[in-house]
Chains A and B, each alone.
Chain A
Amino acid sequence: SQQGEEDPQALSIQEGENATMNCSYKTSINNLQWYRQNSGRGLVHLILIRSNEREKHSGRLRVTLDTSKKSSSLLITASRAADTASYFCATDPTGGSYIPTFGRGTSLIVHP
Chain B
Amino acid sequence: EAGVTQSPTHLIKTRGQQATLRCSPISGHTSVYWYQQALGLGLQFLLWYDEGEERNRGNFPPRFSGRQFPNYSSELNVNALELEDSALYLCASSYASGGNEQFFGPGTRLTVL
* Interface core residue of A97, A99, A105 (most chain B CB under 10 Å): A99
A-side contacts of B43, CB under 8 Å: 43, 88, 90, 102
Interface residues of A in 82-112 (CB under 8 A from B): 88, 90, 92, 97-105
Return the chain A residue nearest B91 by Cβ: A42
What's the interface size class on A, roughly?
A: 20 to 34
A100 with B45: CB separation less than 8 A:
yes
Contact among A48, A97, A98, A102 with B42 in the assembled complex (CB-CB below 8 Å) = A102
A35: which B residues are within 8 A, CB to CB? 104
> Is the CB of A33 closer than 8 A to any CB of chain B?
yes
> In the assembly, what is the distance between CA of A57 and CA of B63, in Å?
42
- From residue 48 to 106 of chain B, which have CB atoms closer than 8 A to chain A? 48, 55-56, 58, 88, 90, 92, 97-99, 101-106
On whether A45 and B103 interact (CB within 8 A), knowing A40-B88, A100-B33, the answer reads yes
With a cutoff of 8 Å between Cβ atoms, the chain B residues found around residue A90 in the complex are 43, 102
Name the CB-closest residue of A to B55. A98
Query: Complex Cα distance A30/B107, Å?
Result: 27
**Which of A98, A101, A103 is B98 in contact with, Cβ under 8 Å?**
A98
> Total contacts A to B, CB within 8 angstroms?
59
Residues of A35-68 at the interface with B, using a CB-CB cut-off of 8 Å, are 35, 40-45, 48
Q: Does A71 contact B (CB under 8 A)?
A: no
A43/B98 contact (C-beta < 8 A), A98-B48, A100-B33, A104-B42 known: no
**What is B's interface to A at a CB cutoff of 8 Å?**
4, 33, 35, 37, 41-43, 45, 48, 55-56, 58, 88, 90, 92, 97-99, 101-107
Per CB-CB distance, the 5 closest pairs between chain A and chain B, nearest first, are: A98-B98, A42-B104, A92-B99, A104-B42, A102-B43
Known pairs A2-B42, A40-B37, A40-B107; list 4 more (Cβ under 8 Å). A98-B99, A99-B58, A100-B48, A100-B102
Cβ contacts A to B, 13 pairs, < 8 Å:
A31-B99, A33-B102, A35-B104, A40-B37, A42-B92, A43-B90, A43-B102, A44-B104, A45-B102, A98-B55, A98-B56, A102-B35, A104-B42
